[in-house]
Amino acid sequence: MKRLILVRHGKSSWNNNLPDHKRPLKKRAYNDAKIVINAFKHFYESGASFRTSYAVRAHETAKLFKEALNVPEQDFKVLEELYTFNQNDLLSVIKSSSDKIGKLIVFGHNPAMTILVNSLGDKKIENLPTTGLCVIDFEEDSWEDLRNGKTILTLFPKNLR
């Protein structure tokens, strides 16, 4: 069995004239992360591998989760190829994960995240919002074989405020 947790990066700022991958988080993103993490802590089982886009907004969001959930450094990786907005590229990265990993948490970008949640899970959502989290379980034993999963949890900041 495999568990995939997809988390969209926190709300980012457009104020600074920066390249897209360097956009920082807004203050709201820190508050949203705190409430999502507090809800997720009751569900989270340690031992997950974390993978994040190198974009500042995704990496910072991932670090907030990493610290709050006491994730060891060796289970936290920044991957350049996760800086993608394409669901097929995102799925490719996920499917290339080691089968030794049972639980994988991926921090990334829309529209790839929403499309993947809807194509892999059994509950459709209109949009995975910033700092939104979705947990999908699969019967498969290999990441390469991921097909139709069961959506078992969605956490959206606006529903937790």
pTM value > 0.95: yes
Considering the chain, what is the average pLDDT of its residues? Answer: 97
Q: At what angle do helices 27-40 and 56-68 cross, to 10 degrees?
A: 40
What is the per-residue DSSP string for 77-124? EE-GGG--S-HHHHHHHHHTS-TT-SEEEEEE-TTHHHHHHHHHSSS-
Task: Please determine, for residue 141, whether its predicted confidence score (pLDDT) is greater than 90.
Answer: yes
* pLDDT score for 126: 97
Query: How do the domains of the chain map onto residue ranges?
Result: 2-145+154-160
* pLDDT score for 161: 84
Contact 32, 157 (CB under 8 A): yes
pLDDT digits (tens, 9 = 90+) for 10-33: 999 888 789 999 999 999 999 999
Question: Among residues of the chain, what percentage have pLDDT more than 70?
Answer: 100
What CATH number was assigned to the domain covering residues 2-145+154-160?
A: 3.40.50.1240
Task: Please determine, for residue 97, whether its predicted confidence score (pLDDT) is greater than 90.
Answer: yes
The residue among 160 and 16 whose pLDDT is bigger is 160
Give the Cα separation of 101 and 122 in Å (integer): 22
* pLDDT score for 15: 82
pLDDT digits (tens, 9 = 90+) for 51-85: 999 999 999 999 999 999 999 999 999 999 999 99
